Amino acid sequence: MQKLHRVLIVFLLACAALVTPCVSQDDWALTERDPIKTELVLQLVVTCSNPEKIGPVEDSKDGKRSEIWPIIAGRFVGKGIRGSVAPRWRRGG
């Protein structure tokens, strides 16, 4: 079985070498593009309470998390807009 795996790997490498085109450095030259233009649209400053454990399960759709930092207050300011941040949700309260 191991011999078959080795033969298969060698075969796949040989096929990859055959289908991979030879590329020169000139083919990878960078193309001049317009510079990225950025603009500050909103500045947000928040105050967080101490971190809170989220429970025994750390997995979420965004990755692993063992704690959260609840936002308890804040402010924001931008072009034509300003205001304050008020908490909507708080664990245990």
60 located within any domain: no
8 located within any domain: no
Please tell me the pTM assigned to this model.
0.45
79 located within any domain: yes
19 located within any domain: no
In angstroms, the first-to-last Cα distance of the chain is 61
Confidence grade of residue 66 (pLDDT, cut at 50, 70, 90): confident
| Arithmetic mean of pLDDT over the chain | 77
Domain count, the chain: 1
Q: Mean pLDDT throughout 6-21?
A: 64
For 41, the domain range is 37-55+66-86
Position 19 scores a pLDDT of 57
Q: Does the pLDDT of residue 76 top 80, yes or no? A: yes
74 located within any domain: yes
